[in-house]
Amino acid sequence: MNKWLLGARPRTLPAAIAPVLVGTSLQRNQHGHILILNALLALAVSLLLQIAVNYANDYSDGVKGTDEVRVGPIRLVASGMANAKSVKRAAYLTFALAAIMGAILAARTSLWLILVGIVAILAAWNYTGGKSPYGYSGFGELSVFIFFGLVATIGSYFAQSQKISWQSFLLAIPVGSLACALLAINNLRDLPKDSEVGKRTVAVRIGDSRARYLFIGLLALAHFTVLLAATLSPWVLLSVLLIPFTIKICEKILAGASGRELIPLLGNTARLQLLLSTTLALALWL
């Protein structure tokens, strides 16, 4: 597989697709139509930001040496597959493309989106980059919830309707919770190594046992808030069909899966996010 495709980490992309899918479907539910070009631009921005974050983290963690012994997916800098400067350039280029797509979307909707985009890019870079990366201090999950939950979902709806509603806020919660769950299980997997290199993620701060319950709590919150959306469409109740899949993931987490054993569970969590978001989107559409 092409090294740049590996570095983009395709398995993380459902976190970028889900909020646009849900926000656009809410527009269809509330107003009976969608603006296809705006939806595509929002999707492009979300995907490009996710890829840019992945490259930026690869670069920053690589030059800091925190990825030298890694259990999870291959990182370009740490593995020597690409030098740090080229990965940094890839991050900058992808951020630039996201900014261009975002500027076009802002011109079609509201210039306030430019400010939102600037804040999102700064937050993405400083997650593991800069002098005081907040991802090293336990604020990663909060940032993911805000930007890949609230901002991305509400923003996708706003790009269609130019409105912010309580419905868009409600639907942003399960999207953000599942995005947080992806980071939470990733940090649970990396907990031993992160602890050694001084990376104080939430998992490191609260310990292995509590990190597992945090992950399960995020999945439970996602299911609960999705069911609340049944007030928008009774078809949302179909999401209960995914609960057995969620329970299987939780059982393995409670059984003590660690290290490489968590890699397939990370993939299943990404699938759960995409399945739950798709179910929610279809329900809103119907």
What radius of gyration do the chain's Cα atoms show?
18
Question: Which of 41, 62, 49 minimizes the C-alpha distance to 15?
Answer: 49
Which whole number is the average pLDDT over 73-96?
A: 87
- Structural domain boundaries in the chain: 3-285
Looking at residue 283, what is its pLDDT? Answer: 94
pLDDT digits (tens, 9 = 90+) for 225-247: 999 999 999 999 999 999 999 99
pLDDT value of position 71:
60
Residue 197 is predicted with a pLDDT of: 75
C-beta separation of 184 from 144 below 8 A: no
Q: Give the model's pLDDT for residue 93.
A: 96
CATH code linked to domain 3-285: 1.10.600
Distance CA 102, CA 76 (A): 27
Token pair for 4:
């740049």
Highest mean pLDDT among 37-46, 139-148, 182-191 belongs to 37-46
Long-range contacts: 126-133, Cβ < 8 Å, 24+? 127/53, 127/56, 127/57, 127/60, 128/56, 128/57, 128/60, 128/61, 128/64, 129/56, 129/59, 129/60, 133/60
Average pLDDT score over the chain: 90
Q: Which of 59-68, 82-91, 167-176, 257-266 has the lowest mean pLDDT?
A: 59-68
Residue 4 reports pLDDT greater than 90? no
- Please give the pLDDT value at position 272: 94
- Specify the pLDDT at position 68: 58
Query: Would the pLDDT of 10 be above 90?
Result: no
pLDDT at residue 66 is higher than 70: no
What pTM does this model have?
0.90
pLDDT range class, residue 72, cuts 50, 70, 90: low
pLDDT at 177 over 80: yes
What number is the average pLDDT over the span 95-106?
96
